[in-house]
Structure 1
Amino acid sequence: MPDIRITPCTTADLYTLQDIAIRSYNDHYLYLWFDGGAWYVDRSFREETLREELTDPNAAFYLIYYQEELVGFLKLNLHKEFESYTAAEALELERIYLTKAASGKGIGRSVVDFTKSVAAKYNKRLIWLKAMDSSRSVDFYEQNGFTKCGTYTLPFEQMKPEYRGMYVMKLEL
């Protein structure tokens, strides 16, 4: 889609990333937590955490723009082993977060296609991810070729128990 632009994110973009991460997370996930998400937002999106992740050579962050407006971000772990696939063969799609206003516009599909192109650049044979079993994202990923291949339970005591379940999903390339 010509209205979608995905650009690499560096430490120079730290505060931009922090802002869009918090905005997009708050748009969708606060109901999961006993404390309205405060613990998770502080843990995941504080300056020190993001700076450390942005300097990790295995992590790749991208800012997502729609019609020149910043609407989300993508985080990939470029070399993350999975089942019988080595780190050289597998890539983890850790996060696609979009603002509520950006949802339903085909942006997520473009981001998955972009992720496939990154995987191809690195000669990966597999993309894998974890998706909340209680969310519509599972259907979205299945529509984009991913299949369920396992389950996982988040260990966060601050999270309401009924939302801790995850599906592990994969897409063989």
Structure 2
Amino acid sequence: MSFFQGKQKRSVAETAITVSAHTKLSVSKRVDVDTQIVEYEEDTDSGMIAIVSRANTEDYSHRNKKGLVMVFPRDIKSGTYPAKDPQFENIYYFETATIPGYTKSIQYNAVNGSVIIDVVENTAKSLIYKITLDIKVVDDKTNEELNIVGKKDFRAFFEPL
């Protein structure tokens, strides 16, 4: 899945990327999310990045996937931001729901709360963020609300080929 449809991404042929992260979230009405599974995508034209943490990807039934998507500028400054700050192109929590032969993704969009970004390092060779979340997310179709409190330690390292 590409978060930057029709846009340029960092070319894999140009740069090798090593990504690691640890995400721990307490989600109301759900069990805690604790994962090191992460996806990173960058749009070099806009400077936007997508950091996607996923849990339960190894679940053979494909019924329990969940995660957090954050899309924001790579050059974001350290600070405390409202969850709906215009710098965040997107922040949402997702889950999958299934019945045999059908899988549905449920998206809960951030509606309020705060996001603390600590930019530890942002260079051509590395990108390190420590992120703290205290947000409310809502499923626009059902109006179900969830509160999410947690932390993400994200690290990406770039090596020209």
Same topology, TM > 0.5: no
Task: Choose between structure 1 and 2 for higher RCO, CA contacts under 8 A separated by at least 6 residues.
Answer: 2
- Into which bin does the TM-score normalised by the smaller protein fall? 0.3 to 0.5
Length-normalised TM-score, structure 2? 0.33
| Structure with the larger strand share | 2
Length-normalised TM-score, structure 1? 0.31
| Structure with the larger helix share | 1
